[in-house]
Structure 1
């Protein structure tokens, strides 16, 4: 029995997180199988052009209202102002194009995707700027992932809901960033210069690879420490029994 336990623990110790997680695409509707250069990425998606999980067509559609990507209606409680909408476009580009989300990708059983992101640590500036530019909008839901009325083919506010001020639905940047997409994002107090948070907005080379590498290495270290502790306990128990 103890031999089996040791073999299993050794297997765990060798099965550390793959470095592929530093450069991978989600298994989702519009994502490429593997990341690579996309020189023609459109407008706000252009920062990912050197290495992207999105195609040029996807990047263009990310900028359109009710695009074929998800047929999502940003204007469900009246026309959304451009300064607010630009954050949702950037959010879509980040989700569709980023090749460095591996540490936060989780399996899901949904018709439109097999994987999602969960608790991606978002830089404080991005979250605060998003909330600040949208605080004068209206919405009828706190979680935009589910619960809509899709009977017309696009999302409408469900029966019994009403349009409310953004700040009533999301009183803080934290509440908005964490609730709006079912905890896809995790609010942090880290700044963009910290190297500990993912940036929706950036210019030049993509800073998020180093951030993903930091979290992946931390996860590997935690995994190694856990396995080492279990191995020590197993060996100790074997010596007592022998």
Structure 2
């Protein structure tokens, strides 16, 4: 009977706690935050996996886009519209060159990682390398998304490399990518010095923040270069160029 009485008291306390306004408010708040977090994470993942798809069609149809995009500018034919079209076309050349260079870089990263992991004896090393070659177009994120399953495979595999060795491979390839491969290949594709590429990634990562800043660093820097060339450097050169006066003959 005492046990039944204690159970009854506990049950009544639970009912009172569950029916209290504070509990209801806390539960609603928790469910709302959880739902928002789930929707946000789902949208982020969908957008993440759509980036390679968007990049593929962007490169595939770049000629069509370059030819007809100016028809959608809401301006009448004028010198202003011609100037805007000219600037954007020049910037677009750098954007296309950057993304093409990024595809080459991600392919090299995937090949390096896959080959090294195969030499170490990791299961599914080829799949991991191919995944990195596809997702590597997204700086840092591609490495993280492929490193996590690689580490899990290493921990589950008994006769393979340790998880620490696999992590060291990803870190080494990431450093090699950031300091040598990307500045060299991407920098040459957009006409920027490798040191300029490294510096731009650091600056835009601080200004915009994280992954987005690293992804847009090179094309944004190239765009600024275009604007400086057209409206500052060239005009300074033109203003300093002496105007030859016609020779008067008598």
- The two structures have a TM-score, normalised by structure 1, of 0.31
Give 1 or 2: higher strand fraction: 1
- The two structures have a TM-score, normalised by structure 2, of 0.30
**Greater CA radius of gyration, 1 or 2?**
2
Give 1 or 2: higher helix fraction: 2
